[in-house]
Amino acid sequence: MRDADIERKPPWRRQVFPYVLILPGLIYIAVTTLVPLVYSFWTSLTFNRATSTQPPHFSGVQNYVDVLTDSSFWNAVRVTAIYTGATVAAEMILGTAIALLLIKLTRGRKLVRLLLIIPFSVPPVVIGLMYLLIMDRSYGILNYLLSLVNIGPVSWLSSPEIAIWSVIGVDLWQWTPFVIISAVAALESMPGDVIDAASIDGASSMQMVRWVVLPLIKPVLLVVALTRALTSLKVFDVIFVLTNGGPGSATETLSYMVYVDAFQRFDFGRGAAVSWLLILIAMVVAIPMVRSVLRSDVA
């Protein structure tokens, strides 16, 4: 339709027309996103345990009360917080620092960038299996390398104290390259005249990074941090393959708990309740970050 055709229509039709255009998309989103969300919320308000002889029935907030008074939920919150906090902080610092070094490369930057895509393009299950071998106490290459300098062997995945840090380490390997690539892209898009002006004003390298570069790439870093925080909150596959949530509950995250409740114990009501609590936690984390992103965009 040409612009002139639209302009000839009465004002109310001109206002409605855009909504008509996006209606199929809205319906699609409603069906594929909202309907399952509403259904899962309804499920969270029911007693729906497949191992029970009782048929599913409405139970109000009982699942939420059960979950919130269960120490395993709070353990999962703690593990998820450690996992998300450690991975996001370490990946952002490491990724940005490496990007600042990488941007100085005059040759081979494209090749490095290409290689950096590999870790986060590999399916997490494959990464889990790979690290299961790498971190094996007896046959793993990690302990072999440490043995060359008389360290270890270390029980990477079987010690409750170490296992969570091992899983975090795998996440760093997989996702730091994503931060690097994003930060490099942001650095490359910085206006050159600002950098030149700072140089002329006599800013040192550290001052340049602190007061010029980081503020300029902040919007991109915030979006990356938000993406990483949300994917870390949902981590499941790598833990499923590496530790099954163990030893004990040492690596049991909220997402893993949802899987256990819904698909191991067949308590769909409880699983849905935990997943809604996870959504709430994700919102608590995401909203301030989204606000920061929007504020930095406006700025």
Partner 1 sequence: MKQTHSTMGTFRKSAAALCMCAATTFAVSTPAQAKDGQINVMLFAGPIASFTQQNLPAFEKESGIKVNLTIIGGEVINTKTSTELLGSGTSFDVISIRGDSMPFYGTKGVLADLTPYLKNTKLTPADYDLKSVPDALMNFYRWDNKQVGMPWQVASYVTYYRKDLLEAAGLTHPPKTAAEYRDYAQKLNAPPKVYGTGLTMQKSHNLTSEYFQWLSTFGGGVIDSHGKVILDSPEARQALEYYVSLRKFAPEDVTNWAYERLTTALSQGEVAMAVQWTDTAAVMLEPKHSKVAGKMAFAAAPVAKMPAAVIGGWGLNIPESSHNKEDAFKFITWATGPVMSRKVADLGGTPFRTSLLRDKNLSVKFPWFNAQADAEEVAVPRPRTPAWPAIDDAMSTILSRVVTGRLSVDEGVTRMAAAAKKQIGN
Nearer to partner 1, 3 or 37 (CB): 37
Nearer to partner 1, 23 or 213 (CB): 213
Please name the helix (run of DSSP H) or strand (run of DSSP E) that holds residue 57, with its range, or none: strand 57-58
Closest approach of Cβ 88 to partner 1, in Å?
A: 16
> What one-character DSSP code corresponds to residue 58?
E
Q: Which amino acid is at 231?
A: T
Which of 50, 114, 141, 287 lies at the binding interface for partner 1 (CB under 8 A)? Answer: 50
Which of 248, 283, 288, 291 lies at the binding interface for partner 1 (CB under 8 A)? Answer: 248
The SS3 call for residue 2 is: coil
202 phi, psi to nearest 5 deg? 90, 25
Subset of 129-188 contacting partner 1 (CB under 8 A): 136-139, 155, 157-160, 163, 178, 181-182, 185-186, 188
Nearer to partner 1, 21 or 133 (CB): 133
Residue 170: which residues within 8 A CB-CB, separation 6 or more? 127, 128, 131, 238, 242
- Residue 100 has which token pair? 């600042």
Closest approach of Cβ 276 to partner 1, in Å?
A: 20
> What one-character DSSP code corresponds to residue 157?
T
Which of 10, 11, 25, 123 lies at the binding interface for partner 1 (CB under 8 A)? Answer: 123
Strands 57-58 and 46-47: antiparallel
Subset of 252-281 contacting partner 1 (CB under 8 A): 252, 260, 263-267
Which of 46, 243, 255, 275 lies at the binding interface for partner 1 (CB under 8 A)? Answer: 243
Q: How far is CA 63 from CA 37, 72, 190, in A?
A: 17, 14, 50
Place of tokens 């206002």: 15
Closest approach of Cβ 189 to partner 1, in Å?
A: 4
Q: What track of x and - describes contact with partner 1 for positions 79 through 118 (by CB under 8 A)?
A: --------------------------------------x-
Which of 247, 281, 282, 292 lies at the binding interface for partner 1 (CB under 8 A)? Answer: 247
Among 20, 147, 80, smallest CA distance to 282 is for 80
Closest approach of Cβ 81 to partner 1, in Å?
A: 19
- Give one DSSP letter per residue of 102-127, joined into a string: HTT--SSHHHHHHHHHHHHHS-HHHH
Nearer to partner 1, 86 or 267 (CB): 267
Among 174, 186, 179, smallest CA distance to 96 is for 179
- Under the binding rule (CB under 8 A), the answer on residue 70 touching partner 1 is no
Overall size of the chain counted in residues? 299
The residues that touch partner 1, with contacts defined as CB under 8 A, are 49-53, 72, 117, 120-125, 136-139, 155, 157-160, 163, 178, 181-182, 185-186, 188-190, 220, 223, 231, 237, 240, 243-250, 252, 260, 263-267
